[in-house]
Amino acid sequence: MRSLVLIGHGSHLNGESASAVYRYAELIRERGLYDEVIEGYWKEDPSLRQVLKTTASTDVTVIPMFISEGYFTETVIPRELGLGHQGPVPPGGVARVLGGRTVRYTLPYGVHPAMTDVIVERAREALPDFSAADTALIVLGHGTTRNENSNRVIYHNAQTLRESGQFAEVHALFLDEDPKVGTWPEVVRAARVVVVPFFASEGWHTLETIPEDMDLSGPVTVFAENPHGPQTVYYAKPVGTHRAVADVILHLAEEASGASTEDGDPDHAHTAAWATVMERARQGLRLGEVLITCQSGVFEIRHALDEGMPGHELQTLVTPEGVRDATRRDEGGHHRPVHTLRNLPRGWRAVLNEADLKRAIHYLYPAVVEETYAHTCHVLRHTPWPTTARRQTGIYAKVQKATPAQVEAVAEDVCGGCLRTRLWAGRKLPHTFFDGVPGGIPCAEACTFLVAEVREEVSGKRGGGHTHNH
């Protein structure tokens, strides 16, 4: 058995950043090369701290879904996964045995050499007949002063493409550092210019900042009076959303696994946890806010408050992804970064087979089955607040200054709306959903949502009594 884990940044505020990772997970799942493909996030469920627990096998490859190396890929992700590695990741990745699993952590997909071909593909889409005679290529990066690594990948790709001789000129330009993108009319001489943004996704930068800085009016813009004569600019889509990125991810995973690796064994605790849930589900199970029932081997999930509603009055979903998408927002339309907050929307039912039920539960309540089962077996480790606080770096380091009273006040407010019970704060959880208590779910460690709220409190930005759990 082999598991592939894709790690995204995620967001406490909106669901867009997770969507790109979902899409690649689906593309790779369709290829059937891995027994499971799951997603994990820094700021959403399943969190980096939980995601390894949700894997079914003991052979796990973790790929950071980032466009360049930097703070997240070198510091935050390895730290949160507990890899015991900090700093640059070598080309073959970092391998560790963690909790009985072999975990391989790779470079981010953006630095893989195959991304050079993705740049060319994007250029070809924007200008199918580009030529070495009259076409310049601009590889456009974000660039930043905080992380010297992020420009390296841009320069490297520009150099490789320059050497390939496919373009008359190749330039590396940046939004946030020199040479800036706005200087292009002075540095680019060719009559036709293709601009390929080396960005992970379509967003504010690709839709607004770049067109503004370059004076573009659409996919093709004609400049009649530039210093080097008339020029036409062809604006390509960002590299990160190209389908071929799925192949790059698979290359990275294969390179990290090494030729001689044997397939891993199934994880026994994981298998036991899910066997128990399935057995309960067959008899009818309340888990968190949902009710799972079974008739003739077909499972139905719905919000427990929709119990007894006629099926035709509810939206019927038939795939785990349908469940994921129907429950990404609460009824007020707010993004749900923490899935165990009691804000699951009503009005839907999912009809699923056993394999799909497992995936749907994973989307609804990631890591909840594994952690609750571990709790019932007395093997779930708790991380007290001071340890979580000490681990924080960057802008979150200031949570170390929070007093116990401040942490408790914020937790009362935030966690008060959460199904989980704070074992990390010394609370007890004698009964779980396995024993018929639907909301009996442990919280072994403060989530990043709470950490962010404590940071707001320490910064004096959190209004008294203001509840953030919509």
Among 173, 181, 450, 452, binds ligand SF4 (CB under 6 A): 450
| Residue 363 host element (H or E) | helix 354-364
Q: Find the part of the chain contacting ligand SF4 (CB under 6 A) among 67-75, 191-199, 300-308, 441-449.
A: 441-449
Q: Is 422 in the site for ligand SF4 (CB under 6 A)?
A: yes
Looking at the Cβ atoms of 391 and 422, the one nearer to ligand SF4 is: 422
Residue 35 burial class via C-beta count within 10 angstroms: exposed 0-12, middle 13-18, buried 19 and up: middle
Q: Is 420 in the site for ligand SF4 (CB under 6 A)?
A: yes
Looking at the Cβ atoms of 137 and 419, the one nearer to ligand SF4 is: 419
Looking at the Cβ atoms of 105 and 449, the one nearer to ligand SF4 is: 449
Give the number of C-alpha atoms closer than 13 A to the C-alpha of residue 38, restricted to the C-beta side. Answer: 27
Contact 170, 130 (CB under 8 A): no
What number of H helices and E strands is found in the chain? Answer: 17, 17
Is 39 strand, coil or helix?
Answer: strand
Q: Is 112 in the site for ligand SF4 (CB under 6 A)?
A: no
Quick one: CA torsion of 346, 347, 351, 357, rounded to 10 degrees? Answer: -10
List the structure tokens of 348: 């839907």
**b/e string for 352-384 if b means 16 or more Cβ within 10 A?**
beeebbbbbbbbbbbbbbbbbbbbbeeebebee
Residue 231 burial class via C-beta count within 10 angstroms: exposed 0-12, middle 13-18, buried 19 and up: buried
Looking at the Cβ atoms of 104 and 420, the one nearer to ligand SF4 is: 420
Q: Quote the least distance from Cβ 145 to ligand SF4, whole Å.
A: 33
Q: How many residues bind ligand SF4, per CB under 6 A?
A: 12
Among 447, 452, 454, 458, binds ligand SF4 (CB under 6 A): 447
Q: Is 433 in the site for ligand SF4 (CB under 6 A)?
A: no
Q: Find the part of the chain contacting ligand SF4 (CB under 6 A) among 32-40, 91-99, 354-362, 444-452.
A: 444-452
Is 402 strand, coil or helix?
Answer: coil
Q: Quote the least distance from Cβ 14 to ligand SF4, whole Å.
A: 18
Amino acid found at 34: Y
Q: Find the part of the chain contacting ligand SF4 (CB under 6 A) among 141-149, 229-237, 303-311, 442-450.
A: 442-450
Q: Is 449 in the site for ligand SF4 (CB under 6 A)?
A: yes
Q: Is 5 in the site for ligand SF4 (CB under 6 A)?
A: no
Q: Is 391 in the site for ligand SF4 (CB under 6 A)?
A: no
One character per residue 329-348, x = contact with ligand SF4 (rule: CB under 6 A): ---------x-x--------
Is 358 strand, coil or helix?
Answer: helix
Q: Is 81 in the site for ligand SF4 (CB under 6 A)?
A: no
Cβ atoms within 10 Å of 87's Cβ, excluding its own: 9
Looking at the Cβ atoms of 9 and 420, the one nearer to ligand SF4 is: 420
Q: Is 446 in the site for ligand SF4 (CB under 6 A)?
A: yes
Q: Is 399 in the site for ligand SF4 (CB under 6 A)?
A: no
Cβ atoms within 10 Å of 160's Cβ, excluding its own: 15
Distances (CA, A) of 197 to 49, 73, 210, 417: 32, 21, 9, 41
Q: Is 414 in the site for ligand SF4 (CB under 6 A)?
A: yes
Q: What are the residues binding ligand SF4 (CB under 6 A)?
A: 338, 340, 414-415, 418, 420, 422, 443, 446-447, 449-450
